[in-house]
Amino acid sequence: MQATYETVAVVGAGAMGRGIAQIAAQAGSQVRLYDTQPGAVAKGLQEIGAQWDKLQEKGRMPPEAVQACKARLSAADDLSSLADCRLVVEAVIERLDVKKELFARLEAVVGPDAVLATNTSSLSVTAIGAGLQRPQRLAGYHFFNPVPLMKVVEVIAGLKTDPAVCEGLAAYARQMGHTPVQAQDTPGFIVNHAGRGYGTEALRIVGEGVADFATIDRILRDQAGFKLGPFELLDLTGLDVSQPVMESIYRQYYDEPRYRPSALAAQRQAGGVLGRKTGEGFYRYVDGKAQVPPEPAAPTVDELPPVWVSTRAARRQELYQLLKELGAKIETGQSPSSNALSLVAPLGFDVTTVAVVERLDPARTIGIDMLVEDAATRRRVLATNPATRTDMRDAAHALFTRDGKPVSVIRDSAGFVTQRVVATIVNIASDICQQRICSPQDLETAVTLGLGYPMGPLAMGNRWGPANVLEVLFNLQTVYGDPRYRPSPWLRRRGAIGLSLLQEES
């Protein structure tokens, strides 16, 4: 099959540029690699060749295919040697002035029908093309590192981009073995925009003293199914990369509270505590391995008190069944006896608020997160309030570990941990759809491939109920008084009338 673009130039021989050049050559294009840094192109060609050799050794590329790819890849000595290229992909430093100057020079070199593409991750495609004579031929073409493995690419239309340019780039992405998603030119596009909820809300939770980094990571891995906890992920990416993106998107959206970054992360970045690359981040690293503090052992309790379950508890019948299976003594009266453990399971509220509203003794009141059905999780999460007695906390902890499932006990937090993080992710994703930045399906594809979430954020909202997510957000906003938690109209309307969050308007 003939490649959409027979001759392709990649400007920038860093990791991103090398990855794009590699998959373009594999797609059958003649590829020229250019960089202004002395020796960068020669090193880039050598590293790409080494990648192909490894694929051959592993039996993933036949020798003749490797030789053909190497023959299609060459060095460009100067910009003038890119004159006949049908597509030029820029992958240079993330600075608007540098990119604008480069494209102005490229426009004077390439033919009138050549397509220009920027791999920017956070700059406006419209702003990059503003000085061009023909801005309609410039589009965003945002790959993710490592390019050969991260199989999604965002195709971004600037304000003046010709739709046919985006269609051609999407077709070429498929030939390179990638999945294209179409996005409008907005801060963060799809993936970096949709990813704002996970880390920022986790940072806010730890900043409130609810739990430590390791506990929050364990909860979100085991209860919600994320592959990496937010602090593991921030350490892997590096705060020198993540924090500027958090700040950039927040500022580009004129200080939108949903994207508010954390002073805690800014301080750590300033102190050079960046993650794995510096040997210390939210975890310390020895020989590249995170030093994770051991999980506290479950307490031993000689005699457990009877348990009373709030009449307003989420999944109340499921909670009763679980207590029976754990051998608890269950009270079924309208109110708890004077020595009972009072168990509440709110959505979005904190334990303190529920104890006050339901006129429970806060000293004997414990919360349990029941957003996700117990059978679907590998961890239970309990929350105390400032008045909870130690013996009641220990009794609840001991009771809920009777079947061997681990339990995390956190301090009071509206929405516990999972509810807060999931609701924030779903809400931001819903607003991306409300703004028509992309289609719901492209959003789901971009996030699952680009961020590795266990499911797309809209599917996540459907999985645990748009009405439940709405309740969490409304109650979070009540407790904190923060517009960060105001529900998107997309979520609010679909939750109110029982529609799927993936449902588009006709």
Give how far Cα 52 sits from Cα of 72, 133, 496, Å.
13, 39, 53
User: What are 32's two structure tokens?
Assistant: 């020229």
Q: What single-letter amino acid sits at 213?
A: F
Q: Report CA dihedral (361, 365, 367, 368) to the nearest 10 degrees.
A: -130
Q: Report CA dihedral (116, 117, 123, 126) to the nearest 10 degrees.
A: 50
Give the number of other CB atoms < 10 A from CB of residue 221: 18
Give how far Cα 411 sits from Cα of 107, 144, 451, Å.
59, 37, 29
Max CA pair span of the chain? 85
Give the number of other CB atoms < 10 A from CB of residue 257: 12
341-344 vs 365-368, strand pairing mode: parallel
Peptide bond preceding 257 in cis form (omega within 30 of 0) = no
C-alpha neighbours within 13 Å on the C-beta side of residue 285: 16
Residues noted as catalytic: 121, 142, 154, 192
In DSSP terms, which residues pair with 155 in a beta bridge?
A: 141, 182
What are the backbone dihedrals phi and psi of residue 102, each rounded to the nearest 5 degrees, phi first? -60, -45
Helix (H, G, I), strand (E, B) or coil at 434: helix
Round to whole Å and give the CA distance between 165 and 432. 23
Round to whole Å and give the CA distance between 272 and 280. 9
User: What are 275's two structure tokens?
Assistant: 């993650």
User: What are 492's two structure tokens?
Assistant: 């609010």
The conformational region for residue 431 under phi > 0 = left, psi -120 to 50 = alpha, else beta, is alpha
Q: In what order do the strands lie in the sheet with 330-331?
A: 330-331, 307-309, 341-344, 365-368, 380-383, 407-410
In the block, residue with structure tokens 């050559």 = 25
